[in-house]
Amino acid sequence: MESISQLPKNIRKHLSNEAYETDHTGMSDSSVFLFQDKILKIQKNTLEAETEYRMMQWLKDRLPVPQVYAHEIQGDVSYLLMSRCPGEMACAKKYISDPDLLTDRLAQGLKKLWEVDISGCPADWRLKRKLEQAQFNVEHGLVDIENTEPGTFGEGGFAGPKELLDWLYGNQPQEEPVLSHGDFCLPNLLFDEATAWYIDLGRAGIADKWCDIALCYRSLSHNYDGVYGDQHREGLDDLLLFRKLGLAPDWEKIRYYILLDELF
């Protein structure tokens, strides 16, 4: 954003000449501007941008999500102005330094998603749709193979995105459909004392319960093993999240959904 005066009118009218900070946490191509009590997210007007807007609206009476103030599309760019949620990201030091508290709150955050009645949910990311989208990404060269888990591609792994896609088509697990966040990683959850807020909803919709568990597990691990931030591996027991969830880890499904996410 060069200046507020260049924003679409419908967005601009909500912003006086307020100061803002720019976020550098997210890994997507979006630009996120943090005003004192509002957030402006500017991104390419893709299916994910549209889903984020629709899911934020649909979830507003169902879960703690940002309130949408305005949404505009200009050219191929989407502008979403929303409320700024209180609290700190789940990857804040306060939580990373207390794995018991962190996993407790993450597990609560997952379970609350699963309590939502999915009838009428405007986005469906069950494998049929999700694999079609993955295929689109592969066919259009949209897969970023640099930014993947070690071992996914190359020696001992898949030769390339197409081979991974074929494997994903051939090895689809049985799905347990729930409301899924779709990108359940630590920077996409904000905790205040009482509430877990869900942000970054472009991949939210109906999906298998294990999709979010897998991405939560991956994000949690990388926030301790040094991939993001400092290494504090000794501080994390791999099974803690599953104990908090009251579930035995289904490692096959976890692996499947982490691999599927490589194509997004």
Q: Which residues bind Mg ion (CB under 5 A)?
A: 26, 188, 200
Examine residue 247 and tell whether it contacts ligand ADP (CB under 6 A). Answer: no
The count of residues interacting with ligand ADP (CB under 6 A) is: 18
List the Cα angle 42/45/48 in 5-degree steps. 95
Examine residue 219 and tell whether it contacts ligand ADP (CB under 6 A). Answer: no
Count of alpha carbons within 13 Å of 123, Cβ hemisphere only? Answer: 26
* Candidate ranges 9-17, 23-31, 211-219, 255-263; the one touching ligand ADP (CB under 6 A): 23-31
Return d(Cα 250, Cα 245) in angstroms, integer: 12
Nearer to ligand ADP, 56 or 107 (CB): 56
Return d(Cα 104, Cα 244) in angstroms, integer: 6
* Residue 200 falls in the annotated catalytic set: no
Which residue in 8, 14, 28, 145 binds ligand ADP (CB under 6 A)?
A: 28
Helix axes 251-261, 161-170, angle to 10 degrees: 140
Nearer to Mg ion, 204 or 241 (CB): 204
Which residue in 188, 245, 254, 257 binds ligand ADP (CB under 6 A)?
A: 188
Indicate which of ligand ADP, Mg ion, none lies near residue 82 (CB less than 5 to 8 Å, by partner kind): ligand ADP
CB 48 within 8 A of CB 202: yes
Return d(Cα 99, Cα 230) in angstroms, integer: 14
Examine residue 39 and tell whether it contacts ligand ADP (CB under 6 A). Answer: yes
Which residue in 109, 161, 182, 187 binds ligand ADP (CB under 6 A)?
A: 187
Indicate which of ligand ADP, Mg ion, none lies near residue 32 (CB less than 5 to 8 Å, by partner kind): ligand ADP
List the Cα angle 259/262/263 in 5-degree steps. 110
Residues in region 117-176 near ligand ADP by CB under 6 A: none
Helix axes 161-170, 127-139, angle to 10 degrees: 160
Q: Which of the following is catalytic: 183, 200, 208, 261?
A: 183
Q: Which helix (H) or strand (E) holds 55?
A: helix 47-59
Examine residue 59 and tell whether it contacts ligand ADP (CB under 6 A). Answer: no
Examine residue 11 and tell whether it contacts ligand ADP (CB under 6 A). Answer: no
Nearer to Mg ion, 153 or 217 (CB): 217
Nearer to ligand ADP, 84 or 129 (CB): 84
* Candidate ranges 11-19, 80-88, 148-156, 226-234; the one touching ligand ADP (CB under 6 A): 80-88
Phi-psi region for residue 246, left (φ > 0), alpha (ψ -120 to 50) or beta? left
List the Cα angle 246/254/211 in 5-degree steps. 85
Among candidate residues 47, 25, 211, the one with its CA nearest the CA of residue 55 = 47
Q: Which residues bind to ligand ADP, rule: CB under 6 A? A: 23, 25-26, 28, 30, 32, 39, 41, 66, 82, 84-85, 89, 187-188, 190, 199-200
Catalogue the active-site residues: 183
